Amino acid sequence: MLDMDRIPRHVAIIMDGNGRWAKAHGVPRVAGHNAGMKAMKKIVDHSDKLGVEYLTVYAFSTENWKRSVEEVGGIFKLLVKYVQSDLKGLIDNNVHVNILGDYSAIPEDARKSLEKTLAKTSANDGLKFNIAINYGSRDEIRRSVTELCRMVKDGQLEPEDVTEEMIGAHLFTGHEDIPDPEVVIRTSGEERLSNFLMWQCAYSEFVFVDEFWPDFTPERYEKALEIYQSRDRRFGGR
């Protein structure tokens, strides 16, 4: 049974399997992404009810641009649809939305929808809902190192004074003071990070589940958190 006194502060989720769900159901891949959006809404709502402080979902990676133009376009159209239909609910539920990644590169209508959401939820102090869009951990680390190199070049910092904390502070998560996730959940049976929060997940627990993301229910979410709670986290100690 889930221990409500030990709910992780930050949960990160790799929402995997929309395409395979669509194939299994004999529908277009975009239909799988639509079903995935509905699942995401349920998990956001349930995270809020459980008392999770930070929820980060991997929505679109820097590598996802390799997919077909039709699929990529469909994903961003669904993002606009999600924002338009759920913005009021996010505001009413005091959810604060944040974006991890360079979202300036996404289609204009999706970017404007996201910017509207960021503005409308900026004063909310409830669940911090982080959406990783056009995000890649290697790119994030590169950006952090570039900023620190620029500070060294400008004489603001000595190379030997660079610390892990400084690198972390210049990541997308550092800009928002987002703590490292205690647990990372990945759906669809795959067991890899896929360039997601690699710096931040140094001591995270990993829970891999077989369900495709559209089939990941709040009940299965709780089961995944139970698995996390069963772990003995030692952070390199004994």
Percent of the chain whose predicted confidence (pLDDT) is above 70: 98
Residue written as token pair 């003995």? 232
Question: Each residue of 89-108: pLDDT tens digit?
Answer: 999 999 999 999 999 999 99
Q: Which CATH number applies to 4-136+184-228?
A: 3.40.1180.10
Model pLDDT, residue 124: 97
- pTM score: 0.95
In angstroms, the CA 50 to CA 43 distance is 10
At residue 201, the 3 state secondary structure works out as coil
Cβ atoms of 114 and 99 within 8 Å: the answer is: yes
Closest CA to 90 of 39, 126, 53: 126
Model pLDDT, residue 202: 96
Residue written as token pair 């194939």? 23
What's the average model confidence in pLDDT over 20-43? 96
Question: Each residue of 48-73: pLDDT tens digit?
Answer: 999 999 999 999 999 999 999 999 99
In angstroms, the CA 143 to CA 36 distance is 30
**Residue 85: which pLDDT band, with cuts at 50, 70 and 90?**
confident
At residue 59, the 3 state secondary structure works out as strand
Which of residues 231 and 83 earns the better pLDDT score?
Answer: 231
Catalytic residue among 3, 5, 16, 102: 16
Query: If you ran DSSP here, which 8-state letter would residue 60 be given?
Result: E
Catalytic residue among 64, 93, 124, 195: 64
80 has a pLDDT exceeding 80: yes
Q: Is 16 part of the annotated catalytic residue set?
A: yes
Q: How far apart are the first and last CA of the chain?
A: 27
Average pLDDT across the chain, whole number: 95
**Residue 122: which pLDDT band, with cuts at 50, 70 and 90?**
very high
Model pLDDT, residue 195: 97
